[in-house]
Structures are given as C-alpha cells and as structure tokens.
C-alpha cells in the first residue's frame, strides 16, 4: 500500500479528505507516496486548532518560547540526516546539498532562539513632563506560509520559526510535490515541547491557497514561489486586508570582469548554475562576460560542465540530480529548443539525457549557451533548470545595464579584482542581494533574504529582523500616573 502523506493538525497526522495526488521520486519517476488534497473541513480544523492555541502561546513568556526553540534546534541537529534524506527522495537534489539546505533552515531556528532580545522595544522617559512612552511588538495572530518545491525544508524554515517565536500560530501549506519534510519538521517541533495547534501543516494545491487568502482568521501570508503566483497572492492578500510578503522568480546575472580570477569565476558559474540542477532562486542563469575574456570563459565553463556527474542522490559522487517532474523536464528542454531557434549558440546540450538504470528519471544535463542576446526568450524568462546563458558585454557599463534592465531582481554577483568597480556595482545594481567574488550571495539567517523588482511583492524580506517585524505589529504606549496630573482638561496640543 502507498504511503499517505496527511496533514499535521493539533499535534496529529490526520485528514478528512480522501482525495490524493501522487508524489514522485524524480530520480526514478516512481510514485513514492500520495499526498492528501485537503478539503474545506481539513482547513477549518487547522484554523480551529490554531485559534485555540495561539492566545496561550502568545502569553507564554518569550524566554519559555525560546527554550522550546532551543530544544527544537537540538532535535533538528539530531535528525538532520533523516530530514535531508526525505528532501533528496522527493526533490532529487544530492544528499550533501539537501543537508546544506536543512542547515540553512536550522540557522533561522538558531536566530529565533534569541527572541527575548529580538522583541525588546524602545523606551523614552519624560516624553512630556512625568510622561513615559515605550513601544512593544505584539504577534499578529494566525500567520500562513505557502512554499515552493525547490527547498522543502529551508523555505518553510525561513518563515515559521520566527513567526512562532514571536507568539503567533502558523499554518504551512507546503509544495504538493515534496511535502513530507514539513510533516517531519512539525512532528519534531511537537517533540521539542511546542503546544499542539501552534504549528499546523495543511497539504493541498491552489484550492487550499484560496482558502488561506479568503480566511478572515489569517492575519498574514508569506509566499515563496513563481512570479505570476506571487503577484496573485500579493494582490489577493492585500485586497483582504492581510499583511503579505510574496517572493517570486529570478534570473540572476554573474558579471565577470576582465580582471577577475577566471578560474574562480568559472567555479562560481558551475556551482551556482548547475547545483541543485539550477532549481534555486539564487541560481546563476546568466554569465555576463565583459571585454575580451568571453572565448576563454566559455571554453573553461564547457570543460568544467562536461566533467559534472549527473546522477541520483543515492550516488555519493553526484554533482547534480534530476529536475522535479516530467513536465518540468519537458519545459526546460523546450526552452533549450527555443534558444537554438532564436539563434543562441548551443555549446552543451542537456536534452534527452539518460542515465543507465534511471531511464525514467527526470534528468537534464548541464546546458550551456553562448552569444545569447537580451531579446531572446531564454534570456528574458526564468528557466529554472541547469541552463547557463553567456551574454557578451563590451564593458562594465553595458554589463550593469543588463543587470538593471532585467525584470527580475533577486541576486547578482560580480567577479573582479577592482575595488572601485566592486563598490560601484554594489551601490548601483538594482537588485536585492549582491555578491562580490561570491557566486550566490544568500544572506545568513541574522540578515534578511529578499529580492527587488518582479522577485518580490510586499515590503518585507524574510527572516532576520525583517522577519521579526513582519510577524509582529508595533504598539506604542504613553503613560502618566495620577499624582502628576494637574486638574482640568487641555485643549491645545501639548508642546512640552
Ligand atoms: P509555484 O509558484 O508553482 O508554487 C509555489 C506554491 O504555490 C506551491 O505551494 C503551490 O501549491 C502554490 N501554487 C501553485 N500554483 C498556484 C496557483 N495558481 N494559485 C495559488 N497557489 C498556487 O512555484 P514552484 O514551482 O513550486 O517553485 C519554483 C519557483 O519558486 C521559481 O520561480 C523560483 O524562482 C521560486 N522561488 C523563489 C524564491 C525566492 O526567494 N525568491 C525561493 C525559492 C523559489
């Protein structure tokens, strides 16, 4: 009998709905489980359980909340191999990469352990004569998160540890393509001492998303996924009066200056372009070759790409695994065909990639295009696969303009040995996360993660202090004690 992936509601794995959707192992194409497509009854149960638990949880002292998070951190560390394996089976990424991604999520839990300090407000004595004023940050109530397939542990962990540390209840709707890890993370949180109902996981597709958007009980929505859906989530949430942060797709440029250390830059392109089969929102999908280095750069990337081992996660030497699904493989291969048709030079072709023993797996080989231009579809759109486009720029100004003119603004990086150029780039690039001589400038948990332009809708990035601010609202209190009050009303604005 197939494994059924239920919801996690009020501390138990349950579901009312009997409708399911298959979950595959992308390395083999086999169905490994069925995930529940939750109904409105399931959703109502999640809401009820969140409502019943949130008040008491928000009245639990931040220090006690922090101790639960600290237990949780220990449990994640203890079970990290199991969590990584769950990610690898349903997503396909290599075990080492999966473990790294769980670790990046764990770092958010570590950050959230400092919640008593992070929630400290501001205090002013004598804002008026004998009047004091202070501010506190209070939880929103019930917060929801909707997450993508590409980081089934890390992206949910960008959200719920901070929301919960702040005193909220959290309902997570993970990707239906790889939902198991969220359930295991929820179980471990219960084991760590989190009261039932503070963290619920509800499985399903866009129907559940719609219930989240329409619910009057949910105060905020955190979304990570593709840009069209992010925009929809942002608009609907705003219309329904919810606080919203919606992170979308990307097309990240890595600019390589003629004075760069070329071997380091090639390593950067290879790791960030093909790691996780290019299914990262911070993947490098465009290498901008500046000046006369292009031929040598392309040649070196090609040689390195040919050496990559494409294999299932069970092979310890694998550099990259399959992409998530048959549909996605076809979509990527179609983009490659479009690139050829529109005149880009195909240097490495990853279409029809077959691995012996895994013929039904969704593998796409490392693909490299040269002479890509900015009017081409493969340059304009996010492919989300192992496809790197080299675009040639005559000088730095032209390279910067490419970065700034693109509709996406998640991440970018420059490889150079010139401090002045580097400073100009970090100051003037129209992008949320910028690197210098690092390929993937992903901020740590104590900073905040978020792009610009079509890569984000909403005002707050995720985790770090942006996360604490997103999941709390500011209250400012002004107080005076009776003995200091002179008799009689005042009709003018106080000016003391
Ligand atoms: P997706 O947009 O298809 O799905 C994301 C979530 O939205 C899933 O939970 C899914 O069930 C739900 N969903 C899908 N279609 C919907 C619809 N029409 N209405 C309502 N909900 C819907 O994204 P994906 O394919 O799972 O993930 C890949 C995308 O996520 C890429 O575009 C990638 O760049 C992006 N991403 C962005 C970041 C970031 O930080 N900016 C991080 C990771 C992934």
Ligand 1 neighbours, Cβ below 6 Å, are 146-151, 155, 173, 175-176, 205-206, 209, 224-226, 229, 247-250, 281, 382, 384, 410, 451, 455
Active-site residue, from 113, 143, 166, 281: 281
For residue 191, report the distance from its CA to the centre of ligand 1, in Å: 29
For residue 237, report the distance from its CA to the centre of ligand 1, in Å: 16
Residue-wise pLDDT for 327-380, tens only, equals 999 999 999 999 999 999 999 999 999 999 999 999 999 999 999 999 999 999
Q: Atom 22 in ligand 1: which residue has the minimum CA distance?
A: 206
Q: Atom 42 in ligand 1: which residue has the minimum CA distance?
A: 281
Domain 3-248+455-477 CATH (choose: 3.40.920.10, 3.40.50.300, 3.40.605.10, 3.30.1380.10): 3.40.605.10
For residue 465, report the distance from its CA to the centre of ligand 1, in Å: 24
Q: For residue 281, indicate whether it is catalytic.
A: yes
For residue 42, report the distance from its CA to the centre of ligand 1, in Å: 22
Distances (CA, A) of 341 to 27, 334, 336, 382, 492: 29, 10, 9, 18, 74
Q: Say yes or no to pLDDT of 169 above 70.
A: yes
Give backbone dihedrals phi and psi of 361, rounded to 5 degrees, phi first: -75, 160
* Nearest to 311, CA basis, from 268, 366, 267: 366
- Looking at residue 496, its pLDDT comes to 60
C-alpha 226 chain-centroid distance: 11
Residue-wise pLDDT for 208-227, tens only, equals 999 999 999 999 999 999 99
CA-angle at 419, arms to 417 and 420, nearest 5°: 125
- Looking at residue 484, its pLDDT comes to 61
What's the first-to-final CA gap in the chain, in angstroms? Answer: 75
Show me where the domains of the chain are located: 3-248+455-477, 252-436
Confidence of residue 26 (pLDDT cuts 50, 70, 90): very high
* Nearest to 109, CA basis, from 466, 463, 474, 483: 463
Q: Best mutation site among 182, 211, 214, 225 for ligand 1, i.e. most ligand atoms within 8 A of its Cβ?
A: 225
Nearest atom within ligand 1 for CA of residue 247: 41
For residue 457, report the distance from its CA to the centre of ligand 1, in Å: 13
**For the whole model, what pTM was predicted?**
0.97
Nearest atom within ligand 1 for CA of residue 281: 34
- Looking at residue 475, its pLDDT comes to 97
Nearest atom within ligand 1 for CA of residue 451: 41
User: Residues 200-210: what's their mean pLDDT?
Assistant: 98
Is residue 282 a contact partner of residue 252, using CB atoms and an 8 Å limit? yes
Is residue 167 a contact partner of residue 473, using CB atoms and an 8 Å limit? no
Residue-wise pLDDT for 40-76, tens only, equals 999 999 999 999 999 999 999 999 999 999 999 999 9
Homologous superfamily (CATH) of 252-436 is: Aldehyde Dehydrogenase; Chain A, domain 2 (3.40.309.10)
Confidence of residue 489 (pLDDT cuts 50, 70, 90): confident
C-alpha 379 chain-centroid distance: 22
């Amino acid at each position: 009998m197939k494994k059924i992936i239920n919801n996690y509601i009020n501390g138990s794995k349950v579901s009312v709905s009997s409708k399911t959707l298959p979950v595959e192992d992308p390395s083999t194409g086999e169905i490994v489980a069925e995930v529940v497509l939750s109904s409105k009854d399931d959703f109502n149960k999640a809401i009820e359980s969140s409502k019943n638990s949130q008040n008491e949880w928000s009245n639990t002292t931040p220090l006690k909340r922090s101790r639960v998070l600290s237990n949780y951190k220990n449990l994640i560390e203890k079970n990290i191999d199991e969590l990584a394996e769950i990610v690898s089976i349903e997503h396909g990424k290599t075990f080492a990469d999966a473990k790294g991604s769980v670790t990046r999520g764990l770092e958010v839990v570590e950050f959230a352990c400092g919640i008593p300090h992070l929630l400290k407000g501001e205090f002013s004595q004598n804002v008026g004569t004998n009047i004091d004023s202070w501010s506190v940050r209070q939880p929103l109530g019930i917060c929801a998160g909707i997450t993508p397939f590409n980081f089934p542990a890390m992206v949910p962990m960008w959200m719920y540890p901070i929301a919960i540390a702040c005193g909220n209840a959290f309902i997570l709707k993970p990707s239906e393509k790889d939902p198991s890890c969220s359930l295991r993370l929820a179980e471990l949180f219960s084991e760590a001492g989190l009261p039932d109902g503070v963290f619920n996981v509800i499985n399903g597709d866009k129907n559940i998303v719609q219930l989240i958007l329409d619910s009057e009980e949910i105060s905020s929505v955190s979304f990570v996924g593709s840009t069209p859906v992010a925009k929809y989530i942002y608009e609907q949430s705003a219309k329904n009066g919810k606080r919203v942060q919606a992170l979308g797709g990307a097309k990240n440029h890595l600019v390589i200056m003629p004075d760069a250390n070329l071997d380091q830059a090639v390593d950067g392109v290879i790791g960030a372009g093909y790691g996780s089969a290019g299914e990262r929102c911070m993947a490098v999908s465009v290498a901008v070759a500046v000046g006369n280095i292009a031929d040598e750069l392309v040649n070196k990337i090609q040689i390195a790409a040919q050496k990559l081992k494409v294999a299932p996660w069970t092979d310890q030497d694998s550099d990259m695994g399959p992409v998530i699904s048959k549909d996605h493989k076809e979509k990527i291969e179609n983009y490659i065909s479009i690139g050829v048709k529109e005149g880009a030079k195909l240097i490495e072709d990853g279409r029809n990639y077959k691995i012996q023993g895994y013929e039904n797996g969704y593998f796409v080989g490392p693909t490299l295009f040269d002479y890509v231009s900015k009017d081409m579809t493969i340059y304009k759109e996010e492919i989300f696969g192992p496809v790197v486009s080299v675009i040639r720029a005559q000088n730095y100004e032209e390279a910067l303009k490419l970065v700034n003119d693109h509709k996406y603004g998640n991440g970018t990086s420059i490889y150079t040995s010139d401090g002045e150029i580097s400073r100009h780039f970090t100051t003037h690039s129209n992008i949320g996360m910028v690197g210098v001589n690092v390929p993937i400038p992903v901020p740590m948990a104590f900073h905040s993660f978020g792009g610009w332009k079509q890569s984000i809708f909403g005002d707050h990035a995720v985790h770090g202090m942006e996360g604490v601010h997103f999941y709390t609202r500011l209250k400012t209190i002004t107080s005076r004690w009776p003995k200091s009050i002179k008799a009689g009303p005042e009709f003018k604005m106080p000016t003391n």
